[in-house]
Amino acid sequence: MKILILGLLLYFSLHAYAENDWKAHSVPVMPDSELQHMIDEITIELFRSPIKEALCTTYMNTYSVYHSLGVSLRAAQQAFSECQEIPRAPSKILRKQYYLSFVSAPTLDSWTDFGNRTYLFVDDNMTREHLKSMLLHEMAISLDAKTNMLYTTYLTYLASANSNTSGFLFIDISNLNDYEKTLQAAFNQATWKPISMTFAALRAFNLELAANGTPQLSNHQSCVTSFMEILTKIKTLPAPPKSEGVDQIGELLAETVSNKTTPTSKEHEAQILEFLLSDRLTLKDIQKKEVTFCQFMTQPLLTGRTLYNLFGAGPRPRLTGGSGGQGGQSSFTSSLQSNPRFQKPGGVPDLSKEDLRLQQAIEQLKKIKEGLPPSK
């Protein structure tokens, strides 16, 4: 399989959010469309990839795959057939719906909102491999178990991994020692939105690397360097479009959590970052390996159990403009410079037969859109 380096967003163009333009110029991916067939095929591929176990442990049955990933029932059956020997937990994710957006947004690849609606931004150079990367990234975002993870949730996952139970466990934190209180403070501080979004982006990046059999960012210093590069850009993002209806509940909860940990000054922010990115702040990961907090928070962990994580369903973007280093040793920017996929113009790879098929599928939906009202 050709190695695919994830493009992580480094900045947004302001017009990408203007008055929800990209939502108004989107069209739903129809169930019988060629693009839906390609989404189905890519999803089945991912269930046969090196991240098979991570995906299979997320879903309880065929219907949960169908419901969460927005694939056809037949594709869900094929994907889940890869999971028969792997233990699973219940899945409680909102039904996925894909939309294509034709508005000009060159620095934005995709976006999943709190309603599990995924918007894919298309252009003339979109390839099947690029589509696969976008779908996997949004899958990672929708199923991310570590978004706004608190210390009690961390302990629950450790206990669940050790006891092989699918039920809820009671975690007593009434008598924490100094080390445990330090970890509790770290998880709390990591819920500040810019920090939370940065860690989420790096987890999605690592999942893309894992799906392609590529070493993930695991070195602590590489983790810190990559974190600071992405954080610097994320802090400059304009406000995303507001959610509507019941989606506002999740958005308000996430904002409430973030507001409680917002730094009071630049000096305070520097202290928080020094604390969270210290190589002395360590803990056990799910495999009981001692890692730094930065390493732990960039390790992907998927869940279909939204009751464990009230704030894990988005919205967070997939951004173009950066990528990860081989083996985690080089920066996003330097790796980007050697990746022809993200060199525009003139660096776009030749279109394969599958790429041309994708372009035709997009064109079909574009024609259908001309007879449809703007999506809501």
- Model pLDDT, residue 277: 97
Alpha carbon distance 225, 233 (integer Å): 13
- Model pLDDT, residue 302: 86
Cα→Cα distances 180→106, 110, 155, 269, 302, Å: 44, 38, 10, 22, 24
- For tokens 């954080």, the residue is 231
Mean pLDDT of 230-237: 81
Say if strands 108-112 and 316-319 run parallel, antiparallel, or are unpaired: antiparallel
- Model pLDDT, residue 297: 95
Mean pLDDT of 70-79: 95
Mean pLDDT of 298-313: 61
What beta strand segments (E) does the chain contain? 8-9, 26-28, 97-101, 108-112, 117-121, 282-284, 290-292, 316-319, 321-322
pLDDT digits (tens, 9 = 90+) for 196-223: 989 988 998 889 888 888 777 778 999 9
The more confidently predicted of residues 375 and 42 is 42
- Model pLDDT, residue 246: 44
Alpha carbon distance 138, 115 (integer Å): 13
pLDDT digits (tens, 9 = 90+) for 98-124: 998 887 555 567 877 777 788 888 877
Q: Is the pLDDT of residue 181 over 90?
A: yes
Contact between 110 and 136 (Cβ < 8 Å): no
For the question of whether the overall pTM of this predicted structure is more than 0.85, the answer is no
pLDDT digits (tens, 9 = 90+) for 50-65: 999 888 888 888 988 9
